[in-house]
Structure 1
Amino acid sequence: MKTLTVCLDGELSIYRAADLKQVLLAALAAGTVIELDLAGVSEIDCAGVQLLMLAKRTALALGGDLRLAASSRPVLEVLALLGLGAMFATGAASNNMAASNNMAASNNMAASNNMAASNNRTAP
């Protein structure tokens, strides 16, 4: 199976989604594995996530795959928040995703504990 690395940087947002869609879909060919390097992505929104999901589904339909070779912190945080880490994670990206998921879970637990402690206090 042929593997192709595609690097995206800057914003992966609604403002660039249409242009990036053309880039990703053009890279997809029957049986091709696309490895996305998203280390340079500074921001990702819902349109960016939708684009990644479309590219993943299209790659699978063509007998290939789409994987993340590298991801920036914003990408990891959004994918972890939406529970999509497993859909894209491989290799180093998978290790980063696990760390990001652990950090998010830890932050959520700390916030929950602080809220519970705050609710248990009585007014003087």
Structure 2
Amino acid sequence: MNIRFDYDPENNRLSLDGEMTIYTAAELKGRLMQRLHESETLAIDLSRVGEIDSSGVQLLLLMFRDAATKNKCIRIVASSPAFDEVVFLCSLQEAFGMNGIEAEEEA
């Protein structure tokens, strides 16, 4: 998994590219939590995440919980179909600040 960290004056933006699975969780956890620790705000771009499993979801939930306890602002600014599918399947829209967003209806 490649992690790109782009900074702009308004927001720290963390872009993830690749897989967020049990196979990358150990490596990814330290890197994600470090970015959160170094930032008061963090914008996360998941648009290039092609696969995410329960380990990837747990890492993101950990980040959101940790941010809330430290009064930091974290938000997902772009998502991928893989992430959206897991969020809606597990009814985690509220946990990730995606209230008001509904799953696409199948034709």
Which band: TM-score by shorter chain? Answer: 0.7 to 0.9
Q: Which has the higher strand share?
A: 2
Structure 2 CA distance, aligned partners of 1:31 and 1:60?
13
Could you report, residue by residue, the CA deviation over 1:19-45 in whole angstroms, capped at 9, with x for unpaired residues? 111111101137712111000000000
Structure 2 CA distance, aligned partners of 1:28 and 1:57?
11
Is 2:73 aligned against 1:65? yes
Structure 2 CA distance, aligned partners of 1:81 and 1:14?
19
Q: 1:80 aligns with which of 76, 88, 92?
A: 88
Structure 1 CA distance, aligned partners of 2:39 and 2:48?
26
The correspondence of residues 5-44 of structure 1 with structure 2, limited to 5 A, is 5-29=13-37, 32-44=40-52
Overall identity of the aligned pairs, in %: 37
TM-score by length of structure 1 reads: 0.70
Structure 1 CA distance, aligned partners of 2:94 and 2:13?
19
Structure 2 CA distance, aligned partners of 1:30 and 1:22?
12
What RMSD over aligned residues (CA atoms) do the two structures have, in Å?
A: 2.2
Unaligned runs of 5+ in 2: 1-9
Q: Which runs of 4+ in 1 moved over 2 A?
A: none
- Larger CA Rg, structure 1 vs 2: 1
Q: Which has the higher helix share?
A: 1
Contact 2:12 2:39 (8 Å CA) reproduced = no
- 2:12 maps to 4
Q: Secondary structure at the match of 2:23?
A: coil
The letter for the 1-side match of 2:69 is A
Contact 1:4 1:34 (8 Å CA) reproduced = yes
Number of residue pairs matched?
A: 98
